[in-house]
Amino acid sequence: MFSADDLGGLIARVCSLRTVAMAITFVPDAGDVLMCDFAGFQAPEMTKVRRVIVLSPRSRVTFPGTYLVVPVSKTPPSPPELHHCEFQPRSYQFFDQVESVWAKADMVTCVASHRLDRVRINGRYSRAQIRKEDLFLIRKAVLHALGMETWQQAEVIVRTKLIVQEDPAE
């Protein structure tokens, strides 16, 4: 006879064995939306199969087969902060059509390709990609999550000063 603790442990082990049906066999582009199996991660990390948005550039060669992703959740943040990006219902056919979904840039992580699969749209595996403007907003949210939101502004100031110093007219 199993105790409740034994049964709970067994269920947790079985659930951790689930995998994405088929790992991707292609290099995704930044902005691609894929399914990611976070099995083996532990709360408060993401812990189930969910949509993610790829941030890695296609040319990522340092760690082949790994990708930087931001998970997407239907659970609204409380309260929404600058490291969250909301996608309204019907903004994309591959996100929820009734409720908003949230890109949670504070949960950015690196995952291997065996955790990733294509998104199903109307029962068929499809290529799903967000617009460049939305990818820019998610990258900006990641900067906020890392406490680096002012780095882009600092880079512009430094470049402007360098250009002014190099001006031969002075």
What's the chain's length in residues?
170
Please indicate, yes or no, if residue 104 is contained in any of the structural domains. Answer: yes
Q: What is the pLDDT of residues 19-71, one digit of tens each?
A: 445 689 889 999 999 999 999 888 888 889 999 999 988 776 677 889 999 99
Please indicate, yes or no, if residue 67 is contained in any of the structural domains. Answer: yes
Query: For residue 33, what are its two tokens?
Result: 């939306």
Please indicate, yes or no, if residue 7 is contained in any of the structural domains. Answer: no
- Tokens 């406490």 map to which residue? 147
Please indicate, yes or no, if residue 130 is contained in any of the structural domains. Answer: yes
User: pLDDT at residue 165 above 90?
Assistant: no
- The total domain count for the chain is 1
List the domain range (segments joined by +) for residue 83: 19-166
At 157, phi and psi to the nearest 5? -65, -45
User: pLDDT at residue 87 above 60?
Assistant: yes
Q: In terms of C-beta density within 10 A (0-12 exposed, 13-18 middle, 19 or more buried), how is residue 158 classed?
A: exposed
User: pLDDT at residue 170 above 70?
Assistant: no
CATH of the domain at 152: 2.30.30.110
Query: For residue 73, what are its two tokens?
Result: 């959740």
Q: What is the chain's mean pLDDT, rounded?
A: 83
User: pLDDT at residue 16 above 80?
Assistant: no
Over pLDDT 90: what percentage of the chain? 56
Please indicate, yes or no, if residue 12 is contained in any of the structural domains. Answer: no
Please indicate, yes or no, if residue 14 is contained in any of the structural domains. Answer: no
